[in-house]
Amino acid sequence: MPQTACPGTMFTTPSGFSPHLTCAEAEEEEAGRGPVAGPPDGPPMGSASLETLIQNLVPTADYYPEKAYVFTFLLSARLFIPPPELLARVCELCIQQQHLDQSPLDTARVRKFAPKILRLLTEWTETFPSDFREERTVGLLKDMVHRIAPCDEAYWKNFNQVLQKLNQRLTFMSRGGEESVVKVSPNASSYVSDKLVAFKSKPPPIQKDTLSICNDPYTLAQQLTHVELEHLSHIGPEEFVQAFVQKDPLDGTPRQQPCFGDQKKKTSNLEAYVRWFNRLCYLVATEICMPAKKKQRALVIEFFIDVARECFNIGNFNSLMAIISGMNMSPVSRLKKTWAKAKTAKFFILEHQMDPTGNFYNYRTALRGAAHRSQTANSSREKIVIPFFSLLIKDIYFLNEGCANRLPNGHVNFEKFLDLGRQVGEFIIWKQVECPFEEDQAILHYLHTAPIFSEDGLYLASYESESPENQVEKDRWKALRSNVLGKT
């Protein structure tokens, strides 16, 4: 069913849903992989003080942290310290340890250290560019390079390339997920239901339908994949951390996680993606309920079944679930005569793949298969993995709720964040795949702008298609018709 964003958690968390990986399971899985990386010549690190974790991030002439550690810590550290302060602390430690505030510089020492700090700053700006929106953070970068540049002019050249890429990424991000695609009219949801005349015989269609725009399921599945990847491209890994309310690990008191800025802005792309999912659900339901003739409605059902199957084959699980959810909405599922006329064997197979039983066991199996295909792919087409996004968010939500950020001794629970980093890191790899399909602007425009029924509009259209079967439905139909006629 369509997803609902809510304050605090961002997404609903229905009862009976279990987390993808509990703390105990995470510990068992971690034991199978080996310990969390620690400082060189130091013990494995499952938890540590924030200062120790920051120290472990700072490179030296002879040490550079593992890439997984860099990503995990930069992702999770924002729960404890604002990114600009973290960068200032890293730069301060570098200056102290490498004596970069002294003159003359130890040229040999700096030449060994400089490539490592440039590498860290490059990884940071590429993975978390939003951390560098403020001039202050860019100033810290420039100051660090200014200190090492006297040893080699090439450092300035390399740094300028880093800044250029950062500016390009920030420009792209400033457009936002909503501006990067055709905007949905704010009145689109009510347009159809307000104009629908509540008589026994429906008027002619008042809008184009999907089949008139695109009658090839494979093509529509490709265009849906374009939309999905476009939305994903704007979601930064830090948004996953910003989306939830965190409970204090010591006394259980709910508190808002540090957001260090405009919280709404930091999660806007996640919310935009949820709105897209909901729109696709309602668009599918609208397309099915709109036709006056049973035969045409059955054809639309069969068409979307084929589109859903192609989405599954492509690896676009988010569109797949949206289509299935739209077809399972009550106004659609109650059309028994219509469904009886449609060929639905393939639909039940797809439903089975997305069955929530066993914590979505079938879907998770299919997702692992798609992920493996992506890792061994020889073409961009085979690299596509678009997860059922709401479930991914819920997995992260339950990981966040099920494990404390800090242990009773005040140490950061780094094992928790390593698991968070694995889940988010995998998503980052998937979202970077370039869509191999050619865009069809007419189809994309339709997907984003076609009027859709509101929930009441769907029920009214459904009752106009197949008469109410019980008194509850009859009463609702009467109320809906009265409401619509009262507006005309």
Output Rg (C-alpha) for the chain, integer angstroms. 26
Instruction: Taking residues 211-221, report their average pLDDT.
Output: 92
261: left (phi over 0), alpha (psi -120 to 50) or beta: left
pLDDT band at 244 (very low <50, low <70, confident <90, very high): low
DSSP, residue by residue, 214-258: ---HHHHHHHHHHHHHHHHHT--THHHHHTSEEE-TTT--EEEPP
Rounded Cα–Cα distance for residues 145 and 148 (Å) = 5
Which pLDDT does position 330 carry in this prediction? 96
Rounded Cα–Cα distance for residues 179 and 194 (Å) = 27
Residue 24 has pLDDT above 80, yes or no: no
Residue 485 has pLDDT above 70, yes or no: no
Rounded Cα–Cα distance for residues 401 and 404 (Å) = 7
Instruction: Taking residues 214-230, report their average pLDDT.
Output: 96
Residue 242 has pLDDT above 60, yes or no: yes
Instruction: Taking residues 323-343, report their average pLDDT.
Output: 96
Which pLDDT does position 256 carry in this prediction? 40
Instruction: Taking residues 470-484, report their average pLDDT.
Output: 88
Residue 3 has pLDDT above 80, yes or no: no
pLDDT in tens, 400-452: 888 889 999 999 999 999 999 999 999 999 999 999 999 999 999 999 999 99
Which pLDDT does position 267 carry in this prediction? 73
Supply 402's token pair.
């099920």
Which pLDDT does position 265 carry in this prediction? 55
Distances, alpha carbon 397 to alpha carbons 11, 17, 19, 194, 313, in Å? 9, 11, 8, 38, 28
State which H helix or E strand residue 403 sits in.
none
Which pLDDT does position 269 carry in this prediction? 85
C-alpha dihedral sign at 11, 13, 17, 20: positive
Rounded Cα–Cα distance for residues 232 and 428 (Å) = 9
In sequence order, the 6+-apart residues with CB closer than 8 A to the CB of 125 are 131, 132, 141, 162, 165, 166, 169
* Of 381 and 250, more confident: 381
Residue labelled with tokens 């609902």: 4
Residue 180 has pLDDT above 60, yes or no: no
Residue 23 has pLDDT above 70, yes or no: no
Which pLDDT does position 211 carry in this prediction? 83
Rounded Cα–Cα distance for residues 210 and 406 (Å) = 51
pLDDT band at 312 (very low <50, low <70, confident <90, very high): very high
Which pLDDT does position 402 carry in this prediction? 86
Residue 283 has pLDDT above 90, yes or no: yes
Which pLDDT does position 412 carry in this prediction? 94
Which pLDDT does position 400 carry in this prediction? 83
Range with the largest mean pLDDT of 79-83, 198-202, 219-223 = 219-223
* Of 436 and 3, more confident: 436
Residue 98 has pLDDT above 80, yes or no: yes
pLDDT band at 171 (very low <50, low <70, confident <90, very high): confident
The SS3 call for residue 48 is strand
pLDDT band at 486 (very low <50, low <70, confident <90, very high): low
DSSP H stretches of helix in 328-470: 330-333, 336-341, 345-353, 357-375, 380-383, 389-402, 414-431, 441-449, 455-465
In this structure, of 262-266, 326-330, 340-344, 454-458, the range with the lowest mean pLDDT score is: 262-266
Torsion of the alpha carbons at 187, 189, 194 and 196, rounded to the nearest 10: 140
pLDDT band at 487 (very low <50, low <70, confident <90, very high): low
Rounded Cα–Cα distance for residues 10 and 487 (Å) = 34
Which pLDDT does position 12 carry in this prediction? 33
Which pLDDT does position 324 carry in this prediction? 97
- The average confidence (pLDDT) of the chain is 82
DSSP, residue by residue, 128-185: -GGGG-SHHHHHHHHHHHHHHGGG-THHHHHHHHHHHHHHHHHHHHHHHHHHSSPPPP
Supply 193's token pair.
């239901």
- Residue 311 contacts residue 221 (beta carbons within 8 Å): yes
Rounded Cα–Cα distance for residues 337 and 298 (Å) = 9
Rounded Cα–Cα distance for residues 133 and 141 (Å) = 12
| Residues forming a β-bridge with 256 | 245
In this structure, of 43-57, 73-87, 151-165, 210-224, the range with the lowest mean pLDDT score is: 43-57
Task: Tell me the residue length of the chain.
Answer: 488
| Residues forming a β-bridge with 412 | 48, 406
In this structure, of 59-68, 185-194, 205-214, 451-460, the range with the lowest mean pLDDT score is: 185-194
Rounded Cα–Cα distance for residues 247 and 400 (Å) = 9
Residue labelled with tokens 């009886």: 340
pLDDT band at 249 (very low <50, low <70, confident <90, very high): very low
Supply 375's token pair.
């890792």
pLDDT band at 2 (very low <50, low <70, confident <90, very high): low
